[in-house]
Amino acid sequence: MAPQREWFEKDYYKVLGVSESATPAEIKKAYRRLAKQFHPDANPNNPQAAEKFKQLSEAHTVLSDPDKRKKYDTMRKLGAFDPRSQSRGGPATGPSATGEFEFGDLGGLGDLFSSIFGRGKRDDRRGESIEASLTVDFRTAVLGGKVPIEVPITESCATCGGNGAAPGATGTTCPECKGRGTVSFGQGGFAVNRPCPMCRGRGKLPSAKCETCGGAGQVRTIRKVMLTVPAGADTGTRIRLKGQGEPGRDGGPPGDLLVTLQVEPDRFFTRNGLDLECEVPINLAQALLGTQIRVRTVDGKKILLKIPAGTQPGRKLRIKAQGVEKGGRRGDQLVTIRVDLPEKLTAEQEELAKKLAESAGLRY
């Protein structure tokens, strides 16, 4: 299959190397392994790796979303793509008067195919969306904040202005599309018009290609974006930045940037839903007699916490409304008490400990 064929013809299961019955966990595992291998940051001088990474992100976007995956599988069953023969066959009913299958003939599935094939409400000039992952520190995830992210992206070549021609070059009509800029793919009463792969939808071929972009009209670069992390974010949280994806074709709207967060663990806090948990040490005298200690909260404050007399090791004390705030609710901070005992006692301390044990009726 020609690499220029649009995504509706691609076998996303094959792209990720998984079976059609793969579980969401298997799809996620395969994507992470391959994305790490082909990430542009790990292959800065390998355009094939960048293209492979783009294909992986595209496949993961569809197969990781239950609704999109269902629609994609439905499309394949209806014959839009046959991975064994690499052919597209039209459904058994509903061809239009022109001999080409129309999305409206699918009734309730019309919007499904319109969204898949880039017709109907969707602008087929729209740029591709980009998926990226970002690691943020624990405090930023809980409280929210702005974090910079660098994203590999395709932009119009500044030398040729995006037309792929060298300065002063002339243009000839593309022999593949006869100047229309689009070609039709399909058979069996089903056809879809897509941008011509030879001229990239321009309808003309330059007499000399732009040396900067090699005639592609686009170059790979790194875009720096400030990402707003919402308060209460957690590992797996996805943030969509509209219009920050790949640029559109022929002036079409850009795609979006989809960022998945990975939260770094904290040395003091752990998260349990909306509650934050931590552990603080006290000495034996404080545990026996009771005391007050200052405990750090996630926003940097120190709150006075009362330790009751006779507190046992492992006891949990609650500080109200100092946990994670999300959706108008805020959790608590749960403090686990650790009692630290001295490793060695002086003779005087040992004598006092024996008297304490005897007065309490304890054996030693």
% residues pLDDT > 90 (the chain)? 43
221 versus 295: the higher-pLDDT residue is 295
Most confident stretch, 157-161, 192-196, 301-305:
301-305
**Residue 218: beta bridge partners?**
156
Mean pLDDT of 275-299: 96
pLDDT of residue 250: 66
> Is the pLDDT confidence value at 55 over 50?
yes
Residue 71 has pLDDT above 90, yes or no: no
pLDDT per residue as tens digits for the range 154-178: 888 889 888 888 998 888 899 988 8
Degrees to nearest 5, angle at CA 252 with 250 and 253: 150
Tokens 């880039």 locate to: 118
Of 162, 152, 70, 89, the C-alpha closest to 125 is 162
Angle of helix 66-77 versus helix 47-63 axis, rounded to 10 = 90
Least confident of 34-48, 77-91, 193-207, 331-345: 77-91
Mean pLDDT rounded to a whole number for the chain:
82
- The sign of the CA dihedral 132, 138, 143, 148 is negative
Cα end-to-end span (Å), the chain:
81
Which residue did the predictor score with more confidence, 80 or 248?
248
Nearest Cα neighbor of 163 from 241, 120, 216, 110 is 216
Confidence band, pLDDT 50/70/90 cuts, at residue 340: very high
- What pLDDT does 146 receive? 97
Spatial contact of 213 and 157, defined as CB atoms under 8 Å apart: yes
With beta carbons less than 8 A apart as the criterion, state whether 233 and 261 touch: yes
Q: Which token pair is 284?
A: 């034996």
Looking at residue 125, what is its pLDDT?
75
Task: Give pLDDT, residue 247.
Answer: 84
pLDDT of residue 105: 39
Q: Which stretch of 96-105, 140-149, 330-339 has the lowest confidence by average pLDDT?
A: 96-105
| pLDDT per position as a tens digit, 12-45 | 899 899 998 999 999 989 988 998 888 777 777 7
For residue 191, what pLDDT is reported? 64
Residue 85 in tokens:
């023969």
pLDDT band at residue 79 using 50, 70 and 90 as cut-offs: low
Most confident of 8-12, 45-49, 51-55: 51-55
**Model pLDDT, residue 9:** 61
Strands (E) in 113-237, as ranges, are 130-136, 145-156, 171-173, 182-187, 190-195, 204-206, 218-229
Q: Domain segments of the chain: what residues?
A: 270-359
Residue 137 backbone dihedrals phi, psi, to 5 degrees: -75, 160
Confidence band of 210 (pLDDT split at 50, 70, 90): very high
Residue of 41 and 130 predicted with greater confidence: 130
Q: Record the tokens describing residue 186, joined without a space.
A: 């399909």
Choose the weakest-confidence range: 11-20, 178-187, 231-240, 272-281. Answer: 178-187
Q: Which tokens sit at 334?
A: 């749960």
CATH number, span 270-359: 2.60.260.20
